[in-house]
Amino acid sequence: MNETLIDNNQQHRCCSQCHGHGHDKTTSYRGPIIRLSVGALFFLSAALLHDQWSLWLYMIAYCVLGGPTIKRTVSSIKAGEFFNESTLMTIATTGAIAIKEYPEAVAVMLFYEIGELLQEAAAGRSRRSIKSLMDVRPEFANRLESDGTITVVDPQLIMPEDTIVIRPGERIPLDGIVKEGLSFVDTAALTGESMPRRVEPGSTVLGGFVNQTGLLTVEVTADYNDSTVARILRLMEEAEERKAPTERFISRFARVYTPAVVIMAAMLALVPPLLFHASWRIWSYRALLFLVASCPCALVISVPLGFFAGLGAAARNGILIKGASFLEALNDIRTVALDKTGTLTEGVFSVNLLAPQPGTSAEELLRLAASAEQHSLHPIAESLRKAYGKPITEDVSDLSETAGEGVTCRIGGDEVAVGNLRLMSRLGVDVSDTTDDAAATVVYVARNGQYVGHIVISDRLRSDASTAIEDLRQLGIKRLVMLTGDRISVATSIGERLGIDIVRAELLPHEKVAQLDQLKADTDGGVLFAGDGLNDAPVLARADIGVAMGGLGAEAALEAADVVLMSDEPSRLAQAISIARRTRVVVWQNIIVAFAVKVTVLLLGGLGMASLWEAVFADVGVALLAIINSSRIMMRPFVREEKCGGRLVEPITDPTAVLHSDPGQPE
C-alpha cells in the first residue's frame, strides 16, 4: 500500500505513542532548583564568615530565596486575600529580620521554599500518575483510502465506517472492528490488565489499546468524540474537579484557621510586653515561631494529595473513579446490588437448542426470531442473529419492543412475536404444552397468534464472579443482592451458587429502581449498584455509588455511573472499596499527625522551649511526611494480590456454570 504523509513527524509521533505521551516535566523545576542553590550558597557563606559581610550575604540570600513568596504575598494582598501560607511566612521571616535573627529568618525561608518545591513536585507527580495511566489520547490515524493509499490524518477527521491501519507498536486511535489481521493488543492503559489480548477479524478493539505484533485493518465504529478514549479523557478531567467532603472541610478550615493564628500570634507578641512588661524580643520571637509552626500547608497539600494517590491507584487497577467525592463515598458502602447479565455473567449468549413445532422447520423458526430481533441491542438478540448467520432480507414492519418481554412485528404478511412467557401470556398465545426448563432461557416464537416453537439460549458465569463475592464478604459488606430481569428460577440458581443474600428477579427497569430505593431505606449505610446495560442507567444514577462494567458497556450506563470498571471484571469492585478505605486511612493519618505535631510545637514555642527550627519541621517536615505517607497508596497491591501475590482466577469447569437468561429482559 502506498502512503501519503500529511505530517512529516510521523515517526516521532509514533514513538511518542508507543513510549508515552509527552515528556517528563521535571525540566520545569530547573529554575527553582538553581534559585534555591544560589540562595543556599549565599546563606552558607554568611554563616561561615561571621564578619561585617554576613549581614549583606544574609540579605542577598533572603531576597533570592524569598522573592517568589514575597511576590505571592503582595499579589494576595492586592487581591484582598490577607491570610494565606505566603503571608504567614513573609510576616514570620521579616519579623525575624526585624529582631536581628538573620540566620533563622533565611533558614526558615530556605526550608519553606524547599518544602514548597517538593510538595509541588509530589502533587504534580500524583496528578501525572493519573494522566499517564490514562494517557491514551491518539495523535494520528492511518486512514486507508479507496485507492489503497494510506493517509496520516488527525483522528478527529476519521468518521464511522472509515478504515484505518494500525502497525505493530502503534496505539489504536479509535474504536472499531478488526477486518483483517491477527495480533495481540496491550489493553493495560484502559483495563489495567497486564496480559495482552488476542484479536482477529470480527474482534472489537478500543481506542487506547496498543497493537503489539501484527498489522491490523480496522473499520471505525465511532468518531473521536464518541470513542472510548475521548469519554475516558472527559471523565478524568471531571474527576479532578470533584472534591471529597474531607477536602472541602480542610479548605474551609484553612480559611478560618489562618486568620485565627495570625491574631493569636499578634496577641502573643503584644500582650505579655504591654501587660506584664515582658521582653519584646523574646515574645516577638515566640510569636514568629507560632506563625511558622501554625502554617496549614501540610494539611492543605496532604489531603488532596492522598485522594489523588487513591484515584491513581484505582486507575492503575483499571478502575476509573469520577472524583474524590465518589472515592470517599465508597467507604460508606454496606450493601452491594448486582445486575446479572454482563455483570455476574459474561453476557455472551449462544443458541443451544431449536425446538420447532410440527409444520415449522428449525431454519424457519430461527429466521423468524432473528428477523424480529434484527434491530435489538440485547445480547440475546445478537446471539439469534449470529446463529442465523445469513443476511436478513425480510420486510419487517410495525416493530415494537417491550422491555422485559420481547418484540412484536409484521414479517411479510404475518404477525410475529418473539419473547418470554410474559409476552406470550399477554398476547394470549398458548404454550402450555411446552417443557419449561427451569435452568434454561427459552425464547418463544409465535406467528399469527399460534405458537411455532422455542429456542434455548445459554450464558456463562464470569470466571471471577465467585472471587468478587468472596472478596466483598471479606471487606465486611453486609448484604449482597441481585437485581435482574431474569426468571426467578435461573436467578435463584445463580444466587445460590455465588452465595448472594437476596435475589430479586423478573424486574422491569422501573421495578429495579423501586427495589434499589427499598434497599437504601433498609440499609444503614450506602448502596452500590453494578450493571452494564442501557436499562441499568436509571438504577446506576439512583444508587449512592453506581458502577458500570465499562469495557464494552452501554454509553448511557457509563455516563450515569460514578465508577467504571474498564476490564468488565466484578472482582474489581472489592479492589475499588479496598483502595477507598486505604485512602481514607492515609488521609486521616496525615491530618492527625499534622495537628499533633503542630500543637506540640506551638505549646513548646509558647513556653519558650522550641526554636524556629522546630517550627520549620512542624510545617515543612510534616508536609514531607504526609507526601511520603500518601505515596503508600500507590505502592501497595489490593485484595486478591495481598493474599496470592497476584490475582489468580480459576476457570469454571462445572457444567452448571452454563447459566441462562430470559429474552427481552432488561439486564
Torsion of CA 381, 387, 393, 395, to 10 degrees: -40
CA-wise closest residue to 446 among 473, 471, 420, 467:
420
Q: How far, in Å, are 19, 214, 566 from residue 183 at the CA level?
A: 19, 5, 21
Q: Write down the pLDDT at residue 646.
A: 34
Average confidence (pLDDT) over 617-625: 77
Q: Write down the pLDDT at residue 463.
A: 86
Beta bridge partners of 446: 417, 451
Q: What percent of the chain has pLDDT over 90?
A: 28
Q: Write down the pLDDT at residue 235.
A: 60
What digits encode the pLDDT tens for the residues 531-552?
876 567 788 888 999 998 865 4
Question: Which one-letter amino acid corresponds to residue 531?
Answer: G
Least confident of 91-105, 110-124, 340-354: 110-124
Residue with cell 483502595: 579
Q: Which three cell numbers stand for residue 484?
A: 435482574
Distance CA 133, CA 20 (A): 10
Q: Write down the pLDDT at residue 362.
A: 93
Q: Which three cell numbers stand for residue 86?
A: 505566603
Distance CA 446, CA 356 (A): 11
So which residues are the catalytic ones? 339
Q: Write down the pLDDT at residue 334.
A: 94
DSSP H or E run through 112: helix 102-133
pLDDT top residue among 122 and 649: 122
Identify the top-confidence range among 103-107, 228-232, 329-333, 462-466: 329-333
Q: Write down the pLDDT at residue 493.
A: 83
Edge to edge, the sheet with strand 183-186 lists 197-199, 183-186, 210-211
Q: Write down the pLDDT at residue 244.
A: 61
Q: Write down the pLDDT at residue 534.
A: 57
What digits encode the pLDDT tens for the residues 24-77?
444 467 888 899 999 999 999 998 887 778 889 999 999 999 999 899 889 988
Q: Are 526 and 332 in contact (CB under 8 A)?
A: yes
What digits encode the pLDDT tens for the residues 433-462?
665 555 557 899 999 999 999 998 877 788
β strands within 31-149, DSSP E: 141-144
The 10 Å CB-count burial string (b at 16+, else e) for 351-369 is beebebbeebeeebbbbbb
Q: How confident is the model at residue 247 (pLDDT cuts 50, 70, 90)?
A: low
Q: Are 334 and 520 in contact (CB under 8 A)?
A: no
User: What is the residue-wise DSSP string for 180-224?
Assistant: E--EEEE-HHHH---S-EEE-TT-EE-BTBEE-SS-EEEEE-S-G
Give Cα 68 to chain centroid, integer Å. Answer: 36
β strands within 461-541, DSSP E: 479-483, 502-504, 526-531
Q: How far, in Å, are 172, 349, 387, 420, 557 from residue 203 at the CA level?
A: 13, 16, 17, 30, 22
Strands 163-166 and 479-483: unpaired
Please determine, for residue 17, whether its predicted confidence score (pLDDT) is greater than 90.
no
Q: Write down the pLDDT at residue 487.
A: 74
Q: How far, in Å, are 3, 20, 24, 34, 363 from residue 27 at the CA level?
A: 37, 17, 7, 12, 68
pTM score: 0.64
Give, to the nearest 10 degrees, the angle between helix 228-241 and helix 102-133. 150
What digits encode the pLDDT tens for the residues 367-418?
999 999 988 877 788 889 988 988 888 888 888 888 778 899 999 889 999 9
- What domains, with CATH codes, occur in the chain? 3-7+137-237 (2.70.150.10), 325-346+461-566 (3.40.50.1000), 350-459 (3.40.1110.10)
CA-wise closest residue to 527 among 544, 505, 503:
544
Give, to the nearest 10 degrees, the angle between helix 488-498 and helix 465-474. 60
Distance CA 247, CA 278 (A): 41
In degrees, rounded to 5, the angle at the alpha carbon of residue 375 between the alpha carbons of residues 374 and 377 is 105
Please determine, for residue 12, whether its predicted confidence score (pLDDT) is greater than 50.
no
Q: Write down the pLDDT at residue 641.
A: 41
Please determine, for residue 490, whether its predicted confidence score (pLDDT) is greater than 90.
no
Question: Which one-letter amino acid corresponds to residue 314?
Answer: A
Please determine, for residue 234, whether its predicted confidence score (pLDDT) is greater than 70.
no
Average confidence (pLDDT) over 620-647: 64
